[in-house]
Amino acid sequence: MYALLPGTRAPVKVWTDPNDIEPEAAKQLRNIGALPWVEGVAVMPDVHFGKGATVGSVIAMRQAVSPAAVGVDIGCGMSAVRTSLTAEDLPDDLGPLRRAIEDAIPVGFHSHDDVVDPRRVRGVDTKGLSTFWAGFDDLHPGVSSLRGKASRQLGTLGGGNHFLEVCLDTDGRVWLMLHSGSRNIGKELAERHIAVAKKLPHNADLPDRDLAVFLANTPEMDAYRRDLYWAQEYAKRNRALMLGLFENVVRTALPQVTFDEPISCHHNYVSEETYGGVDVLVTRKGAIRAGAGDLGIIPGSMGTGSYIVRGRGNPDAFNSASHGAGRRMSRAKAKKTFTAEDLAAQTAGVECRKDPGVIDEIPGAYKDVDAVLAQQTDLVEVVAHLKQVVCVKG
């Protein structure tokens, strides 16, 4: 159940103890709740301070949208697929499998040397591919020179909290899972539109200019939504291509494998929805859609496992749930707090990087994913609990 955050114009419903929300995040949420276009806000239990708008916030606006409430990694999300394999099918030494995944899928700032044609990757849906790329020419003119880079980055992981994992569920079945978004092209589009929004006269007196909005039936809103939906589609296709490449790696190593239908969900995006007869634009920044029957993915950290969930369709939360465990400390603080030895201890039993370059992703920098799940039993039910045995980080 939720609690109300006091001192806001629009209702801000919180699926955690309001007193546990860091002061900077609580201030952001109150600023959001004060905006005149906001119908309501749902705050997920993984809530934490974010750039521009709070991570773990679901915001329903009438005739308006704030690009910062989506974030710069437009369309970031998760994909997962259950395989026919069991734990007994995996080799004792998982190091070669991790290296094969890293060879097939570029991570960090790297991209493919040559554009990967999705039509040549088994299992990837290429419907509408040519129309999708034709839409690039209609995007913000500031990104016109980035088509080549965006093409080579399709099917790549990125860095930060993005990952590729081989996991086991409680029945010993093997799953593949990944987390990534719209790479550099989504970031470039988002930053350009945020800059435009901040200069619009109707945003001059906002409590936080980072929350600047576009209004319906304006050229600025039309341009943003065009670019936004293209970037969301790019992120979806990026994950699909990566998953296809990932499946090929596993198929090469273990030819007997077959795959179920994948599960995929955005957690930084905009959707047109209706609640109480009111049409709204819902931004989910660090939240997944959890409509009745919707399958979703809630990851923990690189050492604690993840959950496959099914939505309960709770309208109080605008049919949403958390997107993960959520950070409990910043990356900078994590690097000061933990050592490579701590990382090795907290990721014991997982084939993964254990060097200083990924200390900011140490499990201790994240909230307890089991506690986060316990706070949203009215939003989702658990379908499967997964624990990683291989984790690839950017």
Find out whether 200 and 116 touch, Cβ atoms under 8 Å.
no
Q: Look at residues 128, 112, 12, 69 and name the one whose alpha carbon lies nearest to residue 285.
A: 69
How far is the C-alpha of 142 from the C-alpha of 149, rounded, in Å?
14
Confidence of residue 263 (pLDDT cuts 50, 70, 90): very high
pLDDT of 383 higher than 90: yes
pLDDT of 307 higher than 90: yes
In a domain, 75, yes or no: yes
In a domain, 227, yes or no: yes
Average pLDDT over residues 59-78: 97
Average pLDDT over residues 79-85: 98
Q: What's residue 358's pLDDT?
A: 96
Task: Report the percent of the chain where pLDDT is more than 70.
Answer: 100
Structure tokens at 304: 């604690």
In a domain, 341, yes or no: no
Task: Report the percent of the chain where pLDDT is more than 90.
Answer: 98
pLDDT of 279 higher than 90: yes
Average pLDDT over residues 89-118: 97
How far is the C-alpha of 156 from the C-alpha of 335, rounded, in Å?
25
Catalytic residues: 323
How far is the C-alpha of 348 from the C-alpha of 116, rounded, in Å?
35
Give buried/exposed letters for 121-135 (b at 16+ CB in 10 A, else e): beebeeeeeeeebeb
pLDDT of 291 higher than 90: yes
In a domain, 296, yes or no: yes
In a domain, 92, yes or no: yes
Q: Structural domain of residue 199, as residue ranges? A: 3-328+366-393
Average pLDDT over residues 288-305: 96
| Region of poorest pLDDT, from 43-47, 78-82, 205-209, 382-386 | 205-209
Q: What is the CATH number of the domain that holds 254?
A: 3.90.1860.10
In a domain, 337, yes or no: no
How far is the C-alpha of 367 from the C-alpha of 30, rounded, in Å?
23
Which H or E element spans position 189?
helix 183-198
pLDDT of 34 higher than 90: yes
How far is the C-alpha of 321 from the C-alpha of 96, rounded, in Å?
36
Contacts of 249 (CB under 8 A, 6+ apart): 97, 100, 101, 104
Annotated binding site for GMP: 161-165, 267-268, 299-302, 306, 323-326, 393
Instruction: Give the DSSP letter of residue 327.
Output: B
Structure tokens at 346: 């907290």
Contacts of 33 (CB under 8 A, 6+ apart): 5, 7, 8, 9, 10, 11, 12, 41
pLDDT of 1 higher than 90: no
CA dihedral 353, 343, 239, 381 (to 10 degrees): 140
- Total of domains in the chain: 1
Average pLDDT over residues 276-287: 97
In a domain, 347, yes or no: no
Q: What predicted TM-score, i.e. pTM, was given to this entire model?
A: 0.96
Average pLDDT over residues 183-193: 97
Q: What's residue 394's pLDDT?
A: 82
Instruction: Give the DSSP letter of residue 137.
Output: G
Average pLDDT over residues 61-85: 97
Pairing of strands 306-311, 295-299: antiparallel
Average pLDDT over residues 153-167: 97
Q: What's residue 344's pLDDT?
A: 97
pLDDT of 141 higher than 90: yes
Average pLDDT over residues 338-356: 97
Q: Is 77 helix (H, G, I), strand (E, B) or coil?
A: strand
Query: First and final CA of the chain: distance in angstroms?
Result: 36
Annotated binding site: 73, 161-165, 179, 267-268, 299-302, 306, 323-326, 393
Q: What's residue 52's pLDDT?
A: 82
Instruction: Give the DSSP letter of residue 150.
Output: H
Average pLDDT over residues 309-320: 98
Contacts of 378 (CB under 8 A, 6+ apart): 1, 312, 314
In a domain, 259, yes or no: yes
Residue 174 φ/ψ region, left for φ over 0, alpha for ψ in the -120 to 50 degree band, beta for the rest: beta
Mean pLDDT of the chain: 97
pLDDT of 51 higher than 90: no
